[in-house]
């Protein structure tokens, strides 16, 4: 496309984007249109370099716990309508999304906040509470925000997992003293995939939150066997001294759009909100709003993820390995030898998984890809381990 035709082409493309045609477009036609727009703007960025849209041909990406079936097609069609309007700061889409959460989660406005991915909320909490004392965390857990805290000079105390790889709630309760400003838990935990029993966690929260605030990362909450039982949202409703974070990056398949949210006691929410840095990402929030409403897509994603999880579980079992009981979109297993070697063996077959975890060097984590990706994983494992 020659640049002098840009104005005419852009007019045509924008009309197309805002029309109903967009709703009927297949993914590849949309990709082609985006490519044409970039070309028309005289830019050389290829779609291949933008990993969220096109993973390198042949690569099986099972590393970041994404949902490759997302985003919701309905959300995409809605987003296409607002893209031409992004010259302006977003209006009240934040308020609309919060209204939706208030209605669905039965919470008040001051119990909710939004962030640029849940990671921003977690980091904001590190900033806010790290000033007052140390952060208490399980030894093996999601840790981007913990590393961020340590980079800022905040002390993080890590409590070892139990022998069965569960979070040791009793040891964590014992470790709480005046020097602790915040307790961090991830439920279900990443990378083990294991969920804490709802009643045990409720009684831990009741006891410990009387002394110190507890932040629970519920990034995979929608994927558990009994989400209402596993989530602590009922404690938020009753005014407990806790904060929960959730994300649109996992079951909603919107990791590239960066939207997360938090729910908690109004005092904690206010402090965390005051430390959030990003301004609202209007496109992401708009997509989040429509994804949240797309129940067909959510049910479809959950079904595919659970189907995939059973496939990966049986791949490990066929090779004599019992994976940890996952309630997430990834499976973690003690493979009995260096997980980095396994990762390299798979990488040489174009299957990308996580490498070892510091003190848990024989544990491998495999994220759910599409069903056909997991068939490739299964064949690659058989090539490596035989059988
Ligand atoms: C437990 C957990 N919390 C938070 C995040 C960050 O998610 P977000 O994309 O919402 O920042 C991840 C991402 O992998 C995660 O596994």
Distance 245 CA to ligand 1 centre (A): 9
What pLDDT score does 31 carry?
47
- Residue 210 neighbours by CB under 8 Å, 6+ apart: 241
Return the residue whose CA atom lies nearest to atom 5 of ligand 1. Answer: 119
Domain boundaries defined on the chain: 1-50, 93-293, 296-385
> Can you say whether the dihedral through the CA atoms of 372, 375, 377, 380 is positive or negative?
negative
Do residues 326 and 194 make contact, with C-beta atoms less than 8 angstroms apart?
yes
Model pTM?
0.89
Distance 38 CA to ligand 1 centre (A): 30
Distance 386 CA to ligand 1 centre (A): 34
State whether residue 85 is helix, strand or coil: helix
Q: Calculate ∠ Cα 30-36-41, nearest 5°.
A: 130
Backbone φ, ψ for residue 46 (5° rounding): -90, 155
What pLDDT score does 162 carry?
97
Tokens representing 364 are: 């491998």
201 exposed, middle or buried (CB, 10 Å; 0-12, 13-18, 19+)?
buried
Nearest to 281 by CA among 244, 250, 248, 253: 248
The structure tokens 């992004």 sit at 86
**CA dist list (Å): 256 to 117, 118, 386:** 9, 12, 37
What pLDDT score does 359 carry?
87
- Distance between first and last Cα of the chain: 53
Specify the DSSP class assigned to residue 357: B
3-state secondary structure 371-387: HHHHHHHHHHHHHHHCC
Domain 93-293 has CATH 3.30.450.20: no
Q: Which protein residues are within 6 Å of ligand 1, measured from CB?
A: 65, 117-119, 142, 186, 190, 217, 219, 247, 249, 255, 260
Torsion of CA 61, 67, 72, 75, to 10 degrees: -90
Q: Which of 63, 121, 189, 190 to mutate to test the pocket of ligand 1 (most atoms within 8 A of CB)?
A: 190
Q: Do domains 93-293 and 296-385 have the same CATH topology?
A: no
pLDDT tens string, the chain, 387 residues long: the values are 333 444 543 453 444 345 443 444 444 444 444 544 444 455 555 555 554 556 788 899 999 999 999 999 999 999 999 999 999 998 889 999 999 999 999 999 999 999 999 999 999 999 999 999 999 999 999 999 999 999 999 999 999 999 999 999 999 999 999 999 999 999 999 999 999 999 999 999 999 999 999 999 999 999 999 999 999 999 999 999 999 999 999 999 999 999 999 999 999 999 999 999 999 899 999 999 999 999 999 999 999 999 999 999 999 999 999 999 999 999 999 999 999 999 999 999 999 999 999 889 999 999 999 999 999 999 999 999 997
Domain 296-385 has CATH 3.40.50.720: no
Question: In sequence order, what are the beta bridge partners of 115?
Answer: 260
């Amino acid at each position: 496309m020659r640049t002098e035709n840009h104005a005419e082409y852009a007019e045509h493309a924008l009309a197309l984007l805002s029309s109903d045609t967009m709703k009927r477009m297949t993914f590849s036609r949309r990709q082609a249109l985006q490519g044409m727009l970039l070309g028309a703007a005289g830019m050389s960025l290829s779609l291949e370099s933008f990993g969220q849209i096109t993973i390198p041909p042949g690569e099986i990406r099972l590393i970041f716990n994404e949902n490759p079936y997302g985003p919701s097609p309905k959300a995409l069609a809605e987003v296409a309508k607002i893209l031409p309007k992004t010259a302006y700061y977003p209006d009240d889409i934040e308020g609309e999304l919060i209204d939706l959460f208030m209605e669905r989660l039965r919470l008040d406005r001051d119990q909710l906040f939004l962030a640029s991915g849940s990671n921003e909320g977690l980091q904001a909490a590190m900033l806010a509470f790290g000033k007052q004392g140390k952060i208490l965390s399980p030894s093996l857990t999601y840790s981007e925000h913990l590393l961020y805290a340590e980079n800022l000079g905040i002390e993080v105390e890590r409590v070892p997992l139990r022998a069965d790889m569960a979070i040791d709630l009793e040891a964590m309760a014992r470790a709480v003293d005046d020097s602790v400003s915040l307790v961090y838990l991830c439920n279900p935990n990443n990378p083990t995939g294991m969920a804490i029993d709802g009643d045990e966690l409720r009684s831990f929260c009741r006891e410990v939150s009387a002394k110190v605030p507890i932040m629970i990362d519920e990034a995979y909450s929608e994927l558990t066997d009994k989400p209402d039982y596993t989530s602590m949202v009922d404690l938020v409703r009753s005014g407990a001294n806790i904060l929960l974070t959730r994300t649109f990056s996992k079951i909603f398949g919107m990791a590239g759009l960066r939207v997360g949210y938090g729910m908690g006691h109004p005092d904690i929410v206010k402090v965390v909100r005051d430390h959030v840095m990003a301004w609202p990402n209007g496109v992401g929030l708009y997509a989040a709003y429509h994804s949240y409403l797309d129940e067909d897509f959510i049910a479809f994603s959950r079904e595919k993820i659970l189907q995939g999880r059973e496939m990966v579980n049986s791949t490990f079992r066929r090779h004599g390995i019992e994976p940890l009981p996952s309630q997430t979109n990834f499976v973690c297993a003690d493979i009995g030898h260096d997980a980095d070697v396994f990762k390299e063996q798979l990488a040489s077959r174009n299957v990308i998984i996580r490498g070892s975890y510091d003190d848990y060097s024989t544990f491998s984590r495999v994220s759910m890809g599409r069903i056909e990706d997991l068939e490739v994983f299964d064949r690659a494992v058989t090539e490596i381990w035989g059988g």
